A = this chain, B = another copy of it.
Amino acid sequence: MHRVVSAEIDLETAASVDLIFQIATRADVPLASESLTFSQDVDPVELIAADGTRYHRIRSLEGRLEVRYTAVVQTQDAPSPTSDVELITYMRPSRYSESDILFGQARRQFRGLAGAELVQAVADYVSESLAYTSGASNGTDSAATILPKGQGVCRDYTHSVVALLRAMDVPARYTACYAPGLVPMDFHAVAEAYLDGAWHVIDATRLANRRGLVRIATGVDAAACAWLSYHGGSVSLKRLQVDAEADAPLADDDHTALVQIA
């Protein structure tokens, strides 16, 4: 299976500003080809985190900036292994996945469950507790504010799953990804739970076919996986178009089963 993923981003900046993009696939994703271009004459720096997440940093000029990314993704083998230090990180509360606040609720709700059964129970609980609603949440919402609200988008579902899993001592991370077949097409986010030496994907929104996902960034939560961060100025987004296609149909995704992505 080949997948073609792309992002077209048009920005306006009133002044020169530092921009960090997380739109390229993780370093362990096997690519047939890849291209990242900027309309301004800038000199992008690629940084690769220990976990394989790639950052592209530029200093923009004032004015319009058009960013184009596209990659052809091959069938993946196993992803790079996760270090023990990383796993410790994924047990901790984080900004948007406050497992410390949700500890009591999780312990009560999921008492006696472990392993795959626990992961599935958390996925089902979040899926039933939230209604997918654009615009109901904002950038400072987190697991602890979303569960009382009962509404959110993929970011919020993922934060809730991650927080509840960590409260149950399961290492869990946030994964930003390209999702072939997603409607409406956009950047997507899912949770991953570490069980028996491998990461299992949870999409509590039930919107994506997990086998088609292509990882961009993995991290503690959305704070670590933003497709754009900037410092020292402001940025206006003029256009964002994300695309992701697979060259073969994907088998239906049964969200009651565990799935890994390579």
- Among candidates B50, B94, B129, residue contacting A94 with C-beta atoms closer than 8 Å: B94
Q: Is A105 on the interface with B (CB-CB < 8 A)?
A: yes
- Which of chain B's residues has its CB closest to A104's CB? B150
Q: Is A24 on the interface with B (CB-CB < 8 A)?
A: no
Tell me the complex Cα distance, A131–B108, Å: 8
Q: Is A212 on the interface with B (CB-CB < 8 A)?
A: no
B147 x A148 contact (CB < 8 A):
yes
A104 x B151 contact (CB < 8 A):
yes
Q: Is A238 on the interface with B (CB-CB < 8 A)?
A: no
Chain A: interface secondary structure? mixed
A100 x B55 contact (CB < 8 A):
no
B232 x A94 contact (CB < 8 A):
no
A21 to chain B, nearest CB (A): 12
A201 to chain B, nearest CB (A): 22
A1 to chain B, nearest CB (A): 31
* CB neighbours of A93 from chain B (8 A): 95, 223
Q: Which of A114-155 contact B (CB under 8 A)?
A: 129-131, 133, 136, 139-140, 144, 147-151
List 10 contacting pairs A-B, 8 Å CB cutoff, sorted by A.
A92-B223, A94-B94, A101-B140, A102-B150, A103-B149, A104-B136, A104-B151, A105-B149, A108-B130, A108-B150
Closest 8 CB pairs of A and B: A104-B150, A105-B150, A104-B151, A169-B231, A92-B223, A108-B150, A104-B149, A93-B95
